[in-house]
């Protein structure tokens, strides 16, 4: 599997607090079958985690990459960020303050859970105009998407991709979120499943359970597309493979 969303870098955000914790997360990811993992610290969250790309972040990334190798953990680490969608995000990208996923045109972008959907749409448009392809992080967790999943259809038709969380798939965020994520998969709207892991204990990078569930409920091919093929397309800067609509309700 390829995990494109993980708070594995030590000491930068609410993810791993130190290098040992990062290594525990890396080992857990590798154990569950993840081969490539993108480090995506929170970035540009107003009054919280700013984390603009600088020497410290680069050195933290390189340090962890080296430690993973030294420990003999079979996991390749790539660089990215989970950027919060502010109106000036396109400008920050132009200034080189924000890292896209593996230095491609794809940017992992998040919004407030109770954000204004019109504002979200405006930010996404601004990014697309800048030549960036937004990969919307965990849309199933946003109140406005749960209320009106058609928003996800709009974002997809604009050219955005949707990354859903493995925790949502298995029900860790409650029934509403789980219903929404399976609606997105069923409608062929979800493009990738990622861990959005924050620790080796809770919200972990262990992907196996969600992978098995997608295999059982949908198909091995769909699991392959969501956990491997599309994340690989993203990291190679290639177009993602489209999903297919299914008729049956997931429950
Ligand atoms: Fe995240």
Task: Indicate if the pLDDT at residue 246 is higher than 90.
Answer: no
What pLDDT score was predicted for residue 249?
74
Segment 169-207, tens digit of pLDDT? 999 999 999 999 999 999 999 999 999 999 999 999 999
Q: Domain total for the chain? A: 1
Ligand 1 center to 96 CA (angstroms):
21
- Residue 4: name the closest of 132, 91, 99, 122 by CA: 99
Residue 246 lies in a domain: no
Ligand 1 center to 83 CA (angstroms):
9
Task: Indicate if the pLDDT at residue 250 is higher than 90.
Answer: no
- State how far the Cα of 79 lies from the Cα of 88, in Å rounded to an integer: 22
Phi, psi of 29, rounded to the nearest 5 degrees: -60, -50
Sign of the alpha-carbon torsion through 84, 38, 159, 186: negative
What secondary structure does DSSP assign to 140-201, as a single string? GGSHHHHH-THHHHHHHHHT-EEEEEHHHHHTTT-HHHHHHHHHHHHTT---EEE--B--SS
51 C-beta neighbours (distance < 10 Å), count:
23
Ligand 1 center to 6 CA (angstroms):
6
Ligand 1 center to 91 CA (angstroms):
22
Residue 176 lies in a domain: yes
Ligand 1 center to 138 CA (angstroms):
8
- State how far the Cα of 40 lies from the Cα of 80, in Å rounded to an integer: 5
Ligand 1 center to 28 CA (angstroms):
18
Ligand 1 center to 248 CA (angstroms):
30
What pLDDT score was predicted for residue 111?
98
Q: What CA–CA distances, in Å, run from 169 to 51, 59, 138, 193, 236?
A: 29, 34, 11, 9, 26
Ligand 1 center to 247 CA (angstroms):
31
Percent over 70 (pLDDT), the chain:
100
- State how far the Cα of 217 lies from the Cα of 9, in Å rounded to an integer: 33
Residue 240 lies in a domain: no
Residue 101 lies in a domain: yes
146 C-beta neighbours (distance < 10 Å), count:
18
SS3 133: strand
Ligand 1 center to 42 CA (angstroms):
7
Give me the half-sphere count of Cα atoms (radius 13 Å) on the Cβ side of residue 244. Answer: 8
- State how far the Cα of 131 lies from the Cα of 48, in Å rounded to an integer: 27
Ligand 1 center to 250 CA (angstroms):
25
- State how far the Cα of 186 lies from the Cα of 62, in Å rounded to an integer: 39
Provide the mean pLDDT of the chain. Answer: 97
Core vs surface per residue 12-35: b (16+ CB within 10 A) or e: bbebbeeeebbbbbbbbbbebebe
Ligand 1 center to 243 CA (angstroms):
23
Segment 47-100, tens digit of pLDDT? 999 999 999 999 999 999 999 999 999 999 999 999 999 999 999 999 999 999
Residue 114 lies in a domain: yes
What pLDDT score was predicted for residue 50?
95
Sign of the alpha-carbon torsion through 148, 153, 156, 161: positive
SS3 110: strand
The range of the structural domain enclosing residue 159 comes to 2-235
Residue 245 lies in a domain: no
Percent over 90 (pLDDT), the chain:
97
Residue 108 lies in a domain: yes
Residue 98 lies in a domain: yes
Task: Indicate if the pLDDT at residue 247 is higher than 90.
Answer: no
pTM of the predicted model over 0.95: yes
Ligand 1 center to 88 CA (angstroms):
20
Ligand 1 center to 108 CA (angstroms):
9
Ligand 1 center to 7 CA (angstroms):
6
Kindly report the CATH number assigned to the domain that includes residue 121: 3.20.20.140
Ligand 1 center to 89 CA (angstroms):
17
Residues 6+ apart with CB under 8 A from 63: 19
Task: Indicate if the pLDDT at residue 124 is higher than 80.
Answer: yes
Ligand 1 center to 198 CA (angstroms):
8
């Amino acid at each position: 599997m390829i995990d494109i969303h993980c708070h594995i870098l030590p000491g930068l955000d609410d993810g791993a607090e130190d290098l040992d914790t990062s290594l525990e997360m890396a080992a857990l990811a590798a154990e569950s079958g993840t081969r490539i993992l993108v480090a995506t610290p929170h970035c540009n969250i107003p009054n919280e985690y700013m984390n603009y790309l600088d020497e410290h972040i680069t050195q933290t990334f390189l340090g962890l990459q080296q430690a993973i190798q030294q420990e003999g953990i079979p996991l390749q680490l790539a660089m990215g960020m989970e950027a919060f969608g502010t109106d000036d995000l396109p400008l920050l990208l132009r200034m080189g303050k924000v890292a896209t996923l593996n230095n491609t045109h794809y940017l992992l972008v998040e919004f407030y859970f109770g954000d204004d959907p019109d504002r979200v749409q405006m930010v996404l448009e601004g990014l697309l105009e800048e030549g960036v392809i937004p990969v919307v992080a965990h849309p199933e967790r946003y109140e406005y998407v749960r209320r009106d999943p058609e928003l996800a259809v709009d974002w997809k038709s604009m050219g955005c991709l949707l990354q859903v969380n493995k925790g949502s798939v298995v029900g860790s965020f409650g029934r509403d979120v789980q219903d929404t994520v399976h609606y997105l998969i069923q409608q062929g709207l979800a493009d990738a499943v990622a861990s959005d892991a924050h620790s080796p204990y809770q919200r972990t990078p262990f992907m196996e359970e969600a992978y098995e569930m997608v295999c059982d409920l949908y198909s091995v091919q769909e699991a392959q597309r969501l956990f491997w093929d599309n994340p690989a397309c993203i990291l190679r800067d290639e177009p993602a493979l489209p999903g297919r609509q299914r008729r049956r309700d997931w429950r």
